[in-house]
Amino acid sequence: MRAVVVTFPGSNCDYDCLQVLRKVMGVDTRFIWHREHELGDPDLVVLPGGFSYGDYLRAGAIARFSPIVEAVKRYAGRGGIVLGICNGFQILCEAGLLPGALRRNDSLKFRSHDVHVRVETTDTAFTRAYRPGQVLRIPIAHAEGNYIADPGTLERLEAERRVVFRYTTRAGARGEGGNPNGSANDIAGIVNPAGNVLGLMPHPERAAEGVLGSTDGLGMFESLVAHFARERVA
Amino acid sequence: MSAYVIEIRVTPRRGLLDPQGKAIQHALDSLGFAGVGEVRAGKLLVIELEADSADEAAARATRMCEKLLANPVTEDFVIEVGRAAAQPEAAT
């Protein structure tokens, strides 16, 4: 399995993603600069967190015009697996690879702390290693994570079970202060209709080693590695 | 070609909760400004543009908004086209 992590000017979680993929999971992983036009032929593309282009105009709005994002669109169109974390999720929405948008947190504050998210579907390449309904403790670090989409899109996301992660309490209950940013339907992460592009605001790569205080994010990377191991056998 | 100055106001879409506007509204309330209704906070972009006509300038600005400057999911935009002030050397 081979992975690339796209680095934009202002990315700051690129090394965290490299660390978990290369060091923890042993995946052949390299960085790719946003000015590149080709991805090579990876199995996984990660758009990491950070503040690409200083979040000028809107988070992700300018990054999506980077040459590499055109390559990511072509790759995703062929079914390639794309994971967008935090700023990466914002870029995927701005680029139209995922529906909706991420607005300013309802608190107006930059929220940087652990949250609890419930795994809503394990039927994706990103979540097979989890149990359905499993509650994960994973950090967030964002000012614009307030997911919104028009009512029709929200209905479709729910009906098609494309809400993959939802903010909950520690016990896995909705409401009661579990939602850190005002996201519609407590949405923390979604996939595209084909299931190969996932975006989420929490940072699984920051919860992937014991020394980080939680290993609840590791399941996502284990799921992806298992996915490609299975593909090779098939 | 003429020089135009385009002013584009981008505001949170009507009907969507605007937390920033709400916070400003509360601040105005607590300062004693009476009669303050809904406040919405957006941004103003001022763009200098060479174009053949005001209509063409407006059409190009609309495309800029649709492609980059406003997010159709969350924002509305209003465009105003004005002529750029004459250059000093042209005036003398």
Q: What is the pLDDT along chain B (92 residues), one digit of tens a residue?
A: 899 999 999 999 988 888 889 999 999 999 999 999 999 999 999 999 999 999 999 999 999 999 999 999 999 999 999 988 766 655 44
The pLDDT assigned to A123 comes to 96
Q: What CA–CA distance (Å, rounded) separates A141 from A221?
A: 20
Cross-strand bridge partners of residue A173: none
Handedness of CA A66, A79, A190, A50 (dihedral sign): negative
How close does chain B come to A75, measured CA to CA in Å?
22
User: DSSP strand E in A42-122: where?
Assistant: 44-47, 81-85, 101-103, 111-119
Q: What CA–CA distance (Å, rounded) separates A88 from A201?
A: 8
Q: How many CB atoms lie within 10 A of CB B68?
A: 15
Cross-strand bridge partners of residue A46: A5, A83
Q: Please confirm, yes or no, whether A93 is among the known catalytic residues.
A: no
How close does chain B come to A145, measured CA to CA in Å?
13
When CB atoms are compared, the residue of B20, B69, B73 closest to A148 is B73
Kindly name the residue from A86, A94, A120, A142 that is annotated as catalytic: A86
Q: Three-state DSSP class for B76? A: strand
- CB proximity A22 to B under 8 Å: no
The pLDDT assigned to B86 comes to 66
- Domain borders along chain A are 2-233
Quote the pTM value. Answer: 0.92
pLDDT, tens digit (0-9, with 9 covering 90-100), for A18-58: 999 999 999 999 999 999 999 999 999 999 999 998 889 99
Q: Please confirm, yes or no, whether A13 is among the known catalytic residues.
A: no
The DSSP symbol for A220 reads H
Q: What CA–CA distance (Å, rounded) separates A32 from A201?
A: 22
Contact flag A65-B68 (C-beta cutoff 8 Å)? yes
Contact flag B19-A107 (C-beta cutoff 8 Å)? yes
The pLDDT assigned to A200 comes to 98
* Fold category of A2-233 in CATH: Rossmann fold (3.40.50)
pLDDT, tens digit (0-9, with 9 covering 90-100), for A123-167: 999 999 999 999 999 999 999 999 999 999 999 999 999 999 999
Which residue out of B65, B74, B75, B76 would a mutagenesis test of the A interface target, given it has the greatest number of A Cβ atoms within 10 Å? B74
Contact flag B68-A57 (C-beta cutoff 8 Å)? yes
Provide ipTM, 2 decimals.
Answer: 0.80
Contact flag B73-A104 (C-beta cutoff 8 Å)? no
A81 burial level (CB within 10 Å; 0-12, 13-18, 19+): buried
State the pairing for strand pair A135-142/A111-119.
Answer: antiparallel
- Domain borders along chain B are 2-86
State the pairing for strand pair A187-191/A163-168.
Answer: antiparallel
Q: Three-state DSSP class for A11? A: strand
CA-based nearest residue in chain A for residue B10: A57
- For residue A103, give both structure tokens: 């607005």
Task: Concatenate the DSSP letters of all residues of A94-107 into one string.
Answer: HTTSSSSEEE--TT
Q: Scan for tokens 């009669």, then name that residue.
A: B35
CA-based nearest residue in chain B for residue A106: B19
How close does chain A come to B17, measured CA to CA in Å?
9
With a CB cutoff of 8 Å and minimum separation 6, the contacts of A1 are A27, A28, A43, A44, A224, A225, A228, A229
Q: Are A82 and A92 in contact (CB under 8 A)?
A: yes
Q: Which chain A residues contact residue B69 at CB under 8 A?
A: 57
Task: Compute the CA torsion angle A147, A85, B11, A68 (nearest 10 deg).
Answer: -140
CA-based nearest residue in chain A for residue B16: A148
The pLDDT assigned to A182 comes to 96
Residues of chain A with pLDDT > 70, as a percent, come to: 99
The pLDDT assigned to B91 comes to 47
Count of A–B CB contacts within 8 Å? Answer: 32
Q: Which chain B residues contact residue A103 at CB under 8 A?
A: 12, 16, 74
How many Å from the N-terminal Cα to the C-terminal Cα in chain B?
21
The pLDDT assigned to B89 comes to 58
How close does chain B come to A171, measured CA to CA in Å?
28
Class of domain B2-86: alpha beta
Kindly name the residue from A94, A120, A144, A205 that is annotated as catalytic: A205
